[in-house]
């Protein structure tokens, strides 16, 4: 079976639930607090691994107690952590998440996520990845590392997947090496200067294709998602859920979708299961802990079909 190699961020998320954002100079008492492992890279690795796919995390943590906890938690979800490095005299990545009215605002201190050795990444991929394996990355680590890593993955014959979040300045050479681009509504606007909706989705995909990627997914939150390749356009509706915490929903979608493609599902069903997984994720506080496994997704879909 093909494998997934995820290069990306590994963070500890500190979640504060608040009634409203504090004003300048104001001290606000939060309603709830929790600390949970996160980071877009780590979340997506967990999402894939929870579906039973062999998943390797490539990333960095600090030489601190948080680093120990972050690695232990990834291992508990069956993510293979052989290629996570410990960076001395550096803190692990941290994220402060302010959860207000079921929506989130996030402040990140990258810490060890900002320190990468491209030669190490090249060695890991060349010695362990095979043609057809999936290389998945995001934009929470230095952009030059992302660009070089995608190029290395393509030279090996891997399927390169970029979740362009948070959006940064991407050149056409990099995008031409991306097999699958995953973006949300705001990222799409930043990339192609178009406020996308269901009336101009064809125009959005046309603009993206001219930049390089032949296949892309645009997620539109509660309005669903669109998938486009040269042969088909697929719309997938969302499932209504009680929103507790939207953190990690997009990461769940990406990791679960790729896992089901590896497991041999057709594209439409893989998208359906990814959408179900994302809908389930927002029903629980946190990210990695909230992402459902294969059995949970199957049960969820069975209940939905029997309604």
| 8 A C-beta contact, residue 256 and residue 274 | yes
The yes-or-no verdict on residue 102 having pLDDT over 80 is no
Mean pLDDT of 64-70: 96
Mean pLDDT of 93-110: 85
The reported pLDDT for the residue numbered 241 is 77
pLDDT-derived band at 62, boundaries 50, 70, 90: very high
Residue-wise pLDDT tens digits, 252-294: 999 999 999 999 999 999 999 999 999 999 998 888 999 999 9
Query: Catalytic site residue 251?
Result: yes
Mean pLDDT of 71-77: 98
Mean pLDDT of 51-63: 98
The reported pLDDT for the residue numbered 104 is 76
Selecting among 103, 251, 266, 298, the annotated active-site residue is: 251
Mean pLDDT of 101-119: 89
The yes-or-no verdict on residue 7 having pLDDT over 90 is yes
pLDDT-derived band at 131, boundaries 50, 70, 90: very high
User: Which of the two residues, 183 and 33, has the higher pLDDT score?
Assistant: 183
User: Which of the two residues, 221 and 127, has the higher pLDDT score?
Assistant: 127
Mean pLDDT of 218-238: 94
The reported pLDDT for the residue numbered 242 is 83
The reported pLDDT for the residue numbered 120 is 98
pLDDT-derived band at 149, boundaries 50, 70, 90: very high
End-to-end CA distance of the chain: 35
The reported pLDDT for the residue numbered 15 is 85
Domain 4-8+39-92+112-302 in CATH 3.40.190.10: no
User: Which of the two residues, 233 and 20, has the higher pLDDT score?
Assistant: 233
Mean pLDDT of 73-95: 96
Mean pLDDT of 96-104: 81
Residue-wise pLDDT tens digits, 174-212: 999 999 999 999 999 999 999 999 899 999 999 999 999
């Amino acid at each position: 079976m093909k494998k997934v190699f995820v290069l990306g961020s590994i963070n500890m998320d500190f979640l504060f639930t608040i009634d409203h954002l504090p004003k300048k100079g104001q001290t606000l008492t939060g309603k709830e607090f929790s600390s949970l492992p996160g980071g877009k890279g780590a979340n997506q690795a967990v999402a894939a691994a929870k579906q039973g796919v062999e998943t390797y995390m490539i990333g960095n943590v600090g030489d601190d107690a948080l680093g120990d906890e972050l690695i232990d938690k990834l291992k508990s979800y069956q993510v293979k952590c052989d290629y996570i490095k410990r960076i001395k005299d550096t803190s692990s990545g941290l994220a402060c998440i302010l959860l207000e009215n079921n929506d989130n605002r996030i402040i990140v201190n990258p810490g060890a996520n900002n320190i990468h050795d491209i030669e190490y990444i090249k060695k890991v991929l060349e010695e362990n990845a095979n043609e057809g394996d999936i290389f998945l990355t995001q934009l929470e680590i230095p952009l030059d590392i992302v660009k070089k890593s995608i190029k290395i993955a393509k030279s090996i014959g891997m399927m390169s997947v970029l979740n362009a979040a948070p959006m940064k300045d991407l050149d056409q050479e990099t995008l031409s090496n991306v097999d699958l681009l995953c973006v949300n509504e705001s990222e799409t606007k930043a990339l192609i200067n178009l406020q996308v909706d269901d009336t101009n989705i064809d125009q959005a995909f046309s603009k993206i294709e001219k930049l390089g990627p032949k296949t892309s997914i645009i997620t539109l939150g509660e309005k669903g998602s669109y998938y486009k390749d040269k042969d088909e356009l697929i719309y997938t509706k969302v499932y209504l859920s009680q929103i507790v915490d939207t953190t990690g929903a997009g990461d769940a979608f990406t990791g679960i979708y790729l896992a089901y493609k590896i497991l041999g599902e057709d594209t439409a069903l893989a998208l359906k299961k990814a959408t179900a997984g994302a809908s389930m994720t927002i029903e629980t506080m946190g990210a990695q802990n909230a992402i459902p496994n294969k059995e949970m997704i199957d049960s969820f879909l069975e209940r939905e079909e029997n309604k």
